[in-house]
Amino acid sequence: MGRAVVIPAAGARAGRRRSLPDYRHQRQRRPRPLSAARGVHAAAPLGRGTLVGPDRLLRPGGTALDEARRVIADLVSLRDAPRSKPRLRILLWALAICIVLGAIEFGEPLDDTFKAARDILRSRPASGEIVVIGIDDRTGARYGGFSFSRRIDAKLVDKLFAAGAERVFFDRVYADETNPADDAAFAAALARHPGRVFLGAISPPGESQERVETLPRPQFRKVAPYRSLNGGNTPFMLSAKLAFADRFEGKLVPSLSSEIAGWPVSAKGYYRPDWSIRMATVPTYSFVDVIDGRVPKLALAGKDVIVGPTSPTLRDVYPILFQGRFAGVYFHVIGAETLRAGTPRDWGWLPPFGSAVLLSCLFLLAQRRLTRLLTIAVALATFAALPVFLASRLIEVDVFPALLLVAIVAYRGFSLARVEATRRTNPASDLPNLVALIESEAGDAPTVIALKLRNQAEIVASFPNDVARALIGEVERRLRVAGGSDQLYHGEDGLFWTSRQPVSDELLQHLRGLHKLLAQPIQLGDRSVDLLTAFGIDGSTDRPLTSRIASATLSAEEAARANEIWKLYDPQRNHAAAWQLSLMGRLDFAIESGELWVAYQPKVSLPTRQIVGMEALVRWNHPTAGPLNPVQFIAAAEAHNKIAALTYFVLDRALADLAALHAAGHMMGVSVNLSPKLLEESDLVERLSEALARHRVLPSDVTLEITETGDLLSVPGSIETMQRLVATGVKLSIDDYGTGNATLEYLARLPSHEVKIDRTFITDLDQNRDNLILVRATLEMAHRLGRHVVAEGVENEEVLRLLQKLGCDIAQGYLLSRPIPFADLLALLDADSAPDRVRLVIS
């Protein structure tokens, strides 16, 4: 509701196959068993030149001029940003990404693939010193399955030792009980060869108290030691790892491969077998052939033998990339041969990653493309060849994070180089642009010269085809022939160059000569055209290059307007223009930093004596100039195409505050000023709708006040845009009515809801009879057209009562309230009518 107006005074069992673990997140996490099947496991005539122009400001903060600002506005930040910053950002982002991926071993599958490829390069056969006795399909067929009597196992043990085997290892656990007699026979065979027969044992990953260990039966453990069969596959089963040792019954027990290799075990851990050893070359004989005596003794004599399942039926078969699928028993053989060759070490991803960081830094610091290419070549060669060499020394490294870092840095670095080349080149001529000039080392040159091609646009527009490039090319050719400059720069408003010759009669005579040369007709296609030119000169070396470019540009503009050959920049003129420009240069920062803020002036309904709305008015507290006159900076914003940013800032703040008022129970609307220029913006309606939705404000609570100082009926599409605005539900108001181009047609055609009579007719309404007649007529006409009328500039009570008597709908002015901050407005709406704080205005 409105409020009467008051004004502030101031584990698994043996014989059951286990799934293999994915341990990509923890390199030393215990893998699960490699296999298991019943006890089996495995893993522009001119006048004379004159002086012009300023650059020093009346007040601090500005460094450029009005006409030149559009040329360099987007260049200052490029100059100020060191060349290294984007490269540093590339490196830091790439480092962050790769470190995270390396830490979680995200690239382990790719590293496994790289390692497998290196293994192929180093491929070699097995030594033949370890023999596999396979429990194959023939064995299953002979004994009616694979759960055959342990007497047969006992017989196998005796025959192996009889053939001269050195030691016998079983890739089986023998944890379950079978026929007592058979078990006894097997135990007896084990006892006959003490310390030479080893059984298997498995356990699940982890160290929990519920951990179940699968061990051989006690009667077998008494006569034969057991060894760990634990191991596991890497992600996607591309490779496998085996344990050095594991804990069983509270003590450290070597793995089967460690025992075979005679590896001294002092701690748990896992290693990657040397998969360059081809499993297909491991000597293998069938279980039944040993039983039947068909295996030559020389094949077994003095060798270690591993007995384990090789039949696909037992599903104890696992893949190794580029080798194929093999039974788990072969994994133990390759593990043992690896340990016999030396100490397997896993350096992980950090050593190659450190090398990649160094190479990436060298790449980003390189100035020449060839140097960058060579750096990438060195990186690729290093990460391709060095791991192969290390692998031959049983040292494994993970290169995925390093390769990824080099790839990201190379891609982003080359992209940045292309962007920088594009950023420093004018596509209309392929000449360096002003960015290249600003970033060059020409800042200390005594003279900066700008050449404005005064009628370039007219020439280009008169041809059916694009002749801009040919025109610029001919101008460039003539300048070079005349020795104008070693390096020309093509900007939006013409050509630029620097000269080591200070401003002097000699330089000015040279420019007159260039002007005569360029005034000669230029042949473009089948037509001859005359080019009009003007030069701008800046000879002040005590200012930044960007400011000097702006000064030269402004001087050229002045020379063109004065129809002169050249103008020399004079820093003692146009101070006001410079100050205005400095304000616009600071506008965006002022919005972001809070220098700009929104004040609200209450609008009072005369019939109800309640505050029914508020007008949002922008204010600027400049850090050095103090509070600025809104007329000053709003007009500047209009002139410099900054009005959109200013308007949307006010709109967004007003909607946010209106939503807060509604939430506090103060239901009213808000008015926001809208420049007629914005009616030409194609996205005006969409941005307004988006802001309304974002702040959850009803369109009917918003009034857009459009000044009628310009002829809105002549602006293309203005009526259509206004109709689209009305269609969204917002209200339109004709602001400053009576001061501009308003006609009866104007008032009738514009889809407005409200007419706001300008303060020049209201302030002395009680003393000026002519204004009284005009206001009365306006009120009658607007009401008959269905418009509400707002009177602004109410400064005394007599005017207020007169407006009420005339039937005016809403009043606004200093009598009622000056524009106040939102917090004060909220306090005004919330406060009680205490005599020391408020007074009634309408009685």
Catalytic positions, please? 792
Q: How far apart are CA 764 and CA 772, in angstroms?
A: 9
Residue 319 CB neighbour total at 10 angstroms: 15
DSSP 8-state class, residue 413: H
The one-letter code for the residue type at 290 is: V
Helix or strand holding residue 506 (H, E): helix 505-518
Q: What is the strand order of the sheet 284-286 is part of?
A: 226-228, 197-201, 167-170, 304-309, 130-135, 284-286
Cα first-last separation, the chain? 20
Q: Is 562 helix (H, G, I), strand (E, B) or coil?
A: coil
Helix and strand counts by DSSP (H, E) for the chain:
30, 33
Q: Which helix (H) or strand (E) holds 396?
A: strand 395-397
**Which of the 8 DSSP states describes residue 439?**
H
Cα→Cα distances 715→678, 711, 719, Å: 11, 7, 8
Burial 145-182 (b: 16+ CB within 10 A, else e): ebebbbbbbbbbbebbbebebbbbbbbbbbbeeeeeeb
**What tokens appear for 391 in the block?**
């692998």
Who's near 841: CB < 8 A, 6+ residues apart?
A: 5, 6, 7, 604, 797, 800, 815, 816
Distance CA 717, CA 727 (A): 15
Distance of CA 479 to the CA centre of its chain: 44
CA distance 475 to 531: 9
What residues are paired with 345 via a beta bridge?
A: 395
Instruction: Decide if 811 contacts 803 (C-beta within 8 A).
Output: yes
Interhelix angle for 643-663 vs 575-593, to 10°? 40
Q: Render 147-203 in DSSP notation, one character per residue.
A: ---HHHHHHHHHHHHHTT-SEEEESB---S---HHHHHHHHHHHHHSTTTEEEEEB-
d(CA 314, CA 41) in angstroms, rounded, equals 10
669: nearest Cα among 680, 679, 655: 655
Residues 6+ apart with CB under 8 A from 729: 698, 699, 700
